A = this chain, B = another copy of it.
Amino acid sequence: MFLIHYPNGKKAAPRPSLPPKPQIKTEYGKRGMTLEEDLNQSNEVYLAKGMAVIHKKPTPVQIVSVDYPKRSAAVIKEAYFKTASTTDYNGVYKGRYIDFEAKETKNKNSFPLKNFHSHQICHMESVQKQGGIAFVILRFSEDNETYLLDASYLFPYFSTSYDGRKSIPREEIALLGTLLPLSYSPRIHYLEAVDELYFP
């Protein structure tokens, strides 16, 4: 707990609300990189070591207008973000197709599923039907715990008959998923969990 000593010698009461933004940034810096940065670093390590070929897909963008100035690179002047129809990461590991989506939450007790689009869920279902490996990597960023969870656990939440809460309790993730320890290089060695789950 961060306490302020006032001139009167008394300790201030603990702050009741969220700390101001700059403090969040500092705290964040201590904890390290975002999940995306961790995964990109890990995928680079895997590629360099010949362990797997897994890339993040580019952000899908609808390009509306492009300038072609003489003697310099084309400049996109107007474009819009499009909803992704697939997941962000895919590639090949030991001959198998690997496909996953990665998300972070600041929630402590459950993982909200509103950040997953129904297209992405459909996509992961199709991938599994086609014999591919599909999972999600979920991070609770407040205490930096990261889990790998087979995608099939999400499907019931997106079925047309389901109208309950779209979030998975943390205990369920801890029970059904695999905790991914952080290390130096690769930052998240998620292929260990993939080996355990899909190459027994």
Partner of A127, one of B53, B74, B127: B53
Within residues 60 to 89 of chain A, which ones have a CB less than 8 A from any CB in chain B? Answer: 60-61, 63, 73-82, 85-86
Instruction: Give every chain B residue within 8 A of A50 (Cβ-Cβ).
Output: 126, 129-130
Say which size band chain A's interface belongs to: 35 or more
Partner of A92, one of B78, B80, B130: B130
The residue of chain B having its C-beta at the shortest distance from the C-beta of A98 within the complex is: B97
Instruction: Give every chain B residue within 8 A of A78 (Cβ-Cβ).
Output: 75-77
- Asked if A90 is at the interface (CB within 8 A of a chain B CB), the reply is yes
Shortest distance from the beta carbon of A70 to any chain B beta carbon, whole Å: 16
Shortest distance from the beta carbon of A72 to any chain B beta carbon, whole Å: 10
Interface residues of A (CB under 8 A from B): 47, 50, 52-53, 55, 57-61, 63, 73-82, 85-86, 90-99, 123, 126-127, 129-132
